[in-house]
Structure 1
Amino acid sequence: MEPLCLESGLWGTASCLARATAALAVDVASFAWIQGWSCSGAAQSFSTTLFSQWTVWVQLVREGPQRLSGADFVWQTLRAWWVLGCSHCATWPLFRALESQRAAFVAAHPAQARLLPDLLALGVALCWLVLVFLLIGLSLRRLRRRLWHRPEVLFFPDKTGAHVTRICSLMATSKRRVWLAMFTLTNDTLSDELLRAHRRGLDVRVILDDEQCQALGADAQRLLDAGVPLVTDGHWARMHHKFALLDGLVLNGSFNWTKQASVANWENLCVLRDSAVVQPFDREFRRMWWEFQAKSKGSRNQQVVSRKRDATPPPKARSQN
């Protein structure tokens, strides 16, 4: 049999195989479109033929274990399957239908004749096409992730306020949820956006460190007074997370939601949209939420701490040496 590709070298063979696959896919698609393949009748005939052998199978199953040893029974079962099944496959309506379709396809596309000389070659070719399209689909999905799910990285200090505005815009465009796990929350601009999301009817939840709720300018009590669901860790250790879940993305980094972090500290914040990254944060937030909620039942109706001042405190000035 003449080989499919006569080119030499890896790239030559790969190029030839790609061209042959593309040509086969186009021919199969056009033939299927014109013929309007339907295997329902063939499948029904196949089922009828299979069930016609039912009495033979029942007799073997009933009498076999009584007359044969275990190994012989298995062997006779396999042998009966082969004799009753595969030896007659050429006469089954399903295979006859496939053979007629193969012959019609080769007649319509003579260039594919050497590629599809029989039913076995047809099966191999169809499996190859399925594999190729599966690989193409996975590649396109990966490309889509790289293009549409590209991460953003925000660095601080940012005296222009553009990065805080970006965080607010992400919250403003959220449609379902804003879940925040934050060590320190004193930035009024970000807290105001949380309140707006809550008033829009989004699922807003906040987890804070209990000691940092007593920090100067902390916004915890203001959120509670507005009815925002909020829990604290209630533990001697720190709830030191700094992430937010906004629909299908997560904001994560070293950035605390404070004025000092935004305009004075060296911080980072990553905006990640990959579901493989978002889902673990989702699970961690849910775990903490139920754990801390069990510790602080009724905390929504309790006072956390009164704000010591109305405005967010400015960053502390560095002492001059």
Structure 2
Amino acid sequence: MGAAGGPGRAGVALGLALGSAGLVLVLALAAWRRRRRPMREVLFFPSLPSCTEGLLAQAAGPEAAARPCPCPLPQRDCSLSRLLRLLLSARRSLDLCLFSFSNPQLGRAVQLLHRRGVRVRVITDEQYMGLRGSQIGFLRHAGIQVRHDQDTGYMHHKFAIVDQRILITGSLNWTTQAIQNNRENLLVMEDAEYVKPFLDEFERIWEEYNPINYKFFSRDSK
């Protein structure tokens, strides 16, 4: 009867078993993805001399990528190129909280993200934002939101948050001097328990440095 009328009990049981095994496999794969090891990386500086023009050109689009690169330096993996790739991986947001920002390659990467539609916010130090070579003026001119302190102390943080999930922090100021000559470090991590305090700190400072709170004249001035 089983052979003439259908798969029979054995066939049904086998089908159910295979279906259950497939479901278990799907659930196991989903659990593995949830438990995948978060990104953790350490970058040390000074960075090896390397051409980053190709990397920035690719991010700018096909037309820019098709142009010949005039840079004589070799294109190779280095701490600066890895930092640029991390920044350019942003799809939704990039929050920067930086004491000093004058490196032009990093400045171009931030502007490219802004043009791509990524929400970029920058917090910086009032005394250092106006120094010669600072990228802050270029970022503001591009339409990127920038806020700064008006305190007597420095806004000395040095961290970035990509898509509210990847934290980049360490001793590095985003200057060419620091990248090419100084002994510096950056720690990159995707652990939510560490990213969240930095997100909270950024939001706290962002509200504290709201331009409506700026005071351009001394309270004692008349």
- Aligned residues of 2:48 and 2:79 also touching (Cα < 8 A): no
Please, which of 101, 112, 131 is the counterpart of residue 196 of structure 1?
A: 112
5+ residue gaps, structure 1, are 1-29, 35-136, 298-321
Alignment-derived partner of residue 217 in structure 1: 133
Cα deviations by residue, 1:280-302 (Å, 9 ceiling, x for unpaired): 111110110011014349xxxxx
Pairing of 1:292-303 with structure 2 (within 5 A)? 292-293=209-210, 294-296=212-214
Q: Which runs of 5+ in 2 are unaligned?
A: 1-12, 18-27, 51-77, 216-222
TM-score for both structures, normalised by structure 2: 0.67
| 1:175 and 2:84 aligned | no
C-alpha separation in 1, matches of 2:167 and 2:134? 23
Q: CA deviation at 1:168?
A: 1.3
Residue 244 of structure 1 deviates from its aligned partner by: 0.2
Alignment counterpart, residue 154 of structure 1, candidates 26, 43, 49:
43
Tell me how far 1:165 sits from its aligned partner: 1.3
CA distance in 2, matches of 1:279, 1:141: 23
1:184–1:218 CA contact under 8 A, matched in 2 = yes
What one-letter code is carried by the residue in structure 2 that aligns with 1:274? D
Partner in structure 1 of residue 166 of structure 2: 249
For 1:182 and 1:224, locate their aligned partners in 2 and report how far apart those are by CA, in whole Å.
15
Q: Matched residue pairs, number? A: 163
TM-score, structure 1 as length reference: 0.47
Larger mean CA deviation between 211-220 and 186-195 belongs to 211-220
**Alpha-carbon distance, 1:219 to partner:** 1.1
The one-character-per-residue Cα deviations of 1:96-117 (angstroms, maximum 9, x if unpaired) are: xxxxxxxxxxxxxxxxxxxxxx
Query: Residues 266 and 203 (structure 1 numbering): CA distance in 2 closer, same or farther, change over 3 Å?
Result: same
Change (3 A) 1:296 1:199: farther
Question: For the residues of structure 2 that align with 1:202 and 1:249, how far apart are their CA atoms?
Answer: 15
Amino acid at match of 1:167: L
Bigger RCO (CA 8 Å, 6+ sep): 2
d(CA) in 2 for partners of 1:257 and 1:222? 15
Cα-to-partner distance string for 1:59-109 (whole Å, 9 max, x where unaligned): xxxxxxxxxxxxxxxxxxxxxxxxxxxxxxxxxxxxxxxxxxxxxxxxxxx
Query: Is contact 1:231-1:296 (8 Å) kept?
Result: no
Q: CA deviation at 1:215?
A: 1.9
Contact 1:205 1:228 in 2 (8 A): yes
Greater fraction of residues in strand: 2
Match of 2:195 in 1: 278
Q: Secondary structure at the match of 2:129?
A: helix
| 2-structure distance, mates of 1:216, 1:163 | 25
Cα offset, 1:207, TM superposition: 0.4
- Please show how residues 1-321 of structure 1 align to structure 2 within 5 Å: 144-145=35-36, 147=37, 149-161=38-50, 162-247=78-163, 248-293=165-210, 294-296=212-214
Maintained 8 Å contact 1:250/1:272? yes
Is the contact between residue 159 and residue 262 of structure 1 (CA under 8 Å) also seen in structure 2? no
Task: Quote the Cα distance in structure 2 between the aligned partners of 1:252 and 1:245.
Answer: 9
Counterpart residue type for residue 280 of structure 1: P
Q: How far 1:143 moved relative to its partner?
A: 9.0
Q: What is the CA distance between 1:142 and its match in structure 2?
A: 11
Taking the aligned partners of 1:141 and 1:274, their CA distance within structure 2 comes to 16
